[in-house]
Chain A
């Protein structure tokens, strides 16, 4: 409690499913989900493994709070070596699948080897069986989930699957659960596809028990109260979703626009939260239908959207005319501002396609932005793009590229390799808005200095979710820091990274940290689990995880030299806004960061640090 103490190991090569006890020593040191699954990966695989080799493993993991009454307890992770980056990949997802997996009595499912033909894993509590998925191969996530639900005949089963992108090896393919929640980043879906694993279906009725139920209720209620009273988690996110950030970040001058050429987007107000809520002339409805919650979540930041049925993207395509997962801020930015596209309906359509075929909208959008940049610079022409004039801001061109990538057709195949490979191929590596080959997120490091350091040092490549200093630098949580200053950012980034690693390993959502601190979350882990989970231990686990991931990446061939940012962010100053004239001053922060981490000047954890953390 509240680990189930059981791991399901699936040998896809042999076609076997076996149960084994959870290594409780590791559980105590790495908590669960991100940390614990990474520990298993580290122990069981060679970091230099080809991500698409059968020797790479993929782990579906829950945390000790997953499936409990703790607020936002729907979280789960997919961990493997990532094909986009060649680094450790851990993608977290919400929805209902993770809690169902935990309710079925499993802390983790480890997939190893490769199936000779397409299969899916069918689970009900302790029953697990690999079944033929030949008829599902070539189907979208939506079709697959619908078909498997019907096959099971149980309205309460949960499904995680890949679409065409995962099958065809799009390097940022996602694993999608519950139709539109995704373990989105770093290409975990492509690893799943490389193993010929189409889907996992689970039904769990065993239940989740906690060590101290009364303390669990008390600590969860306290956390829920804090979340309800907090302006971001109690008001902003429920009402507007993450999209509330669009105008905020644009005004800060940190909205990477047209592949990082600008830091402000004149179309921002067309694609943000307010635009989603506006009533359309065509059908008298708004794009936004309602908000929605993942399992156990009182915040309910998710958006449900309906595309204007008269819009050219969905005309005569009824499968896109229903309500589905709407735009989150990152997706709206990557699909929109990063390409200069301000057509909300088109962006929503692209987002639907990302869910439908299992793609990370951030990497997709940023890669299309890079392609537009290449086109703009004359490095590629309509001959390369299949006759599409890839102009920044062209909705038609954007939509064509989204569809081509999803289907793996023509130029879409190149886009499916991500921005770094695309830009290198066409001779402009400087156009690639990536760190360690993963595309940056919706915060321009020229306008928010700390995010530059966070991107540069993120263990899975550029990512906003590994150390969200935006909370402090823009929103003032837990305290306001100057986004244009570099002072103090090393410590800030480290603190956010460690705390996030702990939260990502607990089974709860990092969005709680707008309101909650370790002081609130650790007591819930303490109530759920055996042993004494102090705040100090909670944070230390986070730091241990961070260093373990770092060690994995070093063993995989990364060095301190990879802790950098796209040239454009370091050299080309922001042209407008509060950050006008600024570049990211990574060099002012990185040495201090290494030092605060207890790493050498070249970015390697020292023996002392490793010893202190028990690594």
Chain B
């Protein structure tokens, strides 16, 4: 049996290792296009701040980790897949046969269709190389405009502020991180950033980036122009699927997969940021593009590939945590609420604190928080176990801060009754 994994990000590595755990004999090949050993985008912001060196972003510590695990790590890029003869073609020209294939090719940044994006002073922040260039460009006192205040945009803010860059953020959405935070939470985050000296524009798009030899001018739809020495574009990501053009695999927002992580093509599975898998909260499929979903996908796909689809997956809970200049925000599941549900909210503008809990009957289904970093995982526990909150629901509505109490109280009650 030959397992092939296209990609070398977190989903790919999780899958390769888990396949190896479950099947010690078969051949496992992992194909990655990046120059470096598999690394984590989650860690790039900390490379930018100088907290870790480049090596600190690698997914695994040992220099020959993959060889030790008996995983063939092929430094190449998949250019096409031929499901009909169980093969894929690589950029090197090589062709590889597989018995089971996992597509874990991740995501790529969305480049907004704006004139002037090709100036070398306009940077993505996606690959390690991008980060290196940004470190070069972000000199103290430099004027930086960051286009996009999404998840990645927010995480890298700290590196700018630490580098004493004069920073302006432009977000087309109505608030910062609109896909992760509600209005109050996003507003709180914006106030926080502004209090740290970052200028934040929301509800406006970049119309053009004009360049002179001395500086760039970021022209906004609102009519304003921001002068800049460097522009960073982080306007979101999309599944990286170019290599599947013409391939008979169903693609919607991403590669559509079923509860066994199978694509519509035989013996081909997909996982991670490129996959549109089951969502725990909605029961529909969605592209999450977050690390917890990626690793879960990888492991579940591995188990199904090895076991012949014995492990139906309940779906991933979409969740995110962000540290923006020291303010921690997080979201879980159906944070925007569900039809006929109830909610609990606490909002303390002065303290930069916010909690929003969403319930369906007496079960927690989603949450947003700002300014808290303790026991957040309990929110996941409450949502995924669907444990009835009983009296704790009303107590949480009265004071949403008592998450740990509710978690432990509901569990104790459940233990006693079982």
Contacts and interface: CB of A to CB of B under 8 A. Distances in A.
So, do A and B actually touch in the complex, CB under 8 Å? yes
A154 interface: yes
A239 to B, nearest CB: 23
B346 A153 contact: yes
A150 B351 contact: no
A153 B353 contact: yes
A155 B346 contact: no
B409 to A, nearest CB: 13
Given A150-B346, A150-B399, A155 B351 contact: no
A155 B371 contact: no
Nearest to B355: A153
Interface in A145-161: 146, 149-155
A152 B346 contact: no
B401 A155 contact: yes
Contact of B371 (A150, A151, A153): A153
Most buried by B among A149, A153, A154, A155: A153
Contacts of A146: 399
Contacts of B348: 151, 153
Nearest to B405: A155
B298 to A, nearest CB: 35
17 contacts: A146-B399, A149-B399, A149-B401, A150-B346, A150-B399, A151-B348, A152-B351, A153-B346, A153-B348, A153-B351, A153-B353, A153-B371, A153-B401, A154-B401, A155-B401, A155-B402, A155-B405
Contacts of A152: 351
Interface string A117-156: 0000000000000000000000000000010011111110
Identify the 7 closest CB pairs spanning chains A and B, nearest first: A153-B353, A153-B348, A155-B401, A150-B399, A153-B401, A153-B351, A153-B346
Nearest to B354: A153
Interface string A142-185: 00001001111111000000000000000000000000000000
B404 interface: yes
A523 to B, nearest CB: 36
A286 B401 CA distance: 31
Interface of A: 146, 149-155
Nearest to B351: A153
Nearest to B353: A153
A519 B254 CA distance: 73
Nearest to A153: B353
Interface in B381-418: 399, 401-402, 404-405
A153 B402 CA distance: 9
Contacts of A151: 348
A389 B262 CA distance: 83
A155 B404 contact: yes
A155 B353 CA distance: 12
Nearest to B372: A153
Contacts of A154: 401
Nearest to A152: B351
Given A146-B399, A149-B401, 12 more contacts: A149-B399, A150-B346, A150-B399, A152-B351, A153-B346, A153-B348, A153-B355, A153-B371, A155-B401, A155-B402, A155-B404, A155-B405
Interface string B345-358: 01010010101000
A369 B346 CA distance: 46
A103 B211 CA distance: 55
Contacts of A150: 346, 399, 401
Q: Report the contact-size class of chain B (Cβ under 8 Å from the partner).
A: 10 to 19
A599 B4 CA distance: 94
A150 B346 CA distance: 9
B371 to A, nearest CB: 7
Nearest to B404: A155
Contacts of B353: 153
Contacts of B399: 146, 149-150
B110 to A, nearest CB: 36
Most buried by A among B351, B401, B405: B401
B351 to A, nearest CB: 6
A150 B401 CA distance: 8
A155 B399 CA distance: 10
Nearest to B346: A153
A233 B283 CA distance: 57
Nearest to A150: B399
A152 B405 CA distance: 17
A285 to B, nearest CB: 16
Contacts of B346: 150, 153
A131 B351 CA distance: 14
Contacts of B401: 149-150, 153-155
Contacts of A149: 399, 401
Most buried by B among A146, A151, A155: A155
A594 to B, nearest CB: 55
A150 B345 CA distance: 12
Contacts of A155: 401-402, 404-405
B387 to A, nearest CB: 20
B236 to A, nearest CB: 31
Nearest to A151: B348
Nearest to A155: B401
A150 B348 CA distance: 9
Contacts of B404: 155
A151 B399 CA distance: 10
Nearest to B352: A153
A323 to B, nearest CB: 13
A565 to B, nearest CB: 48
A152 B401 CA distance: 10
A82 B404 CA distance: 41
A152 B399 CA distance: 11
A155 B405 CA distance: 9
A94 B405 CA distance: 23
Interface in B352-371: 353, 355, 371
B352 to A, nearest CB: 9
Interface string B225-257: 000000000000000000000000000000000
A149 B405 CA distance: 14
A417 to B, nearest CB: 38
A340 to B, nearest CB: 39
A507 to B, nearest CB: 27
A142 to B, nearest CB: 14
A154 B374 CA distance: 10
A187 to B, nearest CB: 32
A292 to B, nearest CB: 16
Nearest to B348: A153
A152 B372 CA distance: 12
A590 B57 CA distance: 78
Nearest to A154: B401
A154 B399 CA distance: 11
A153 B404 CA distance: 13
Nearest to B371: A153
B183 to A, nearest CB: 19
Interface string B38-56: 0000000000000000000
B399 to A, nearest CB: 6
B197 to A, nearest CB: 21
Contacts of B405: 155
B379 to A, nearest CB: 14
A150 B353 CA distance: 11
B328 to A, nearest CB: 13
A89 to B, nearest CB: 35
A154 B404 CA distance: 12
B401 to A, nearest CB: 5
Interface in B85-105: none
B158 to A, nearest CB: 22
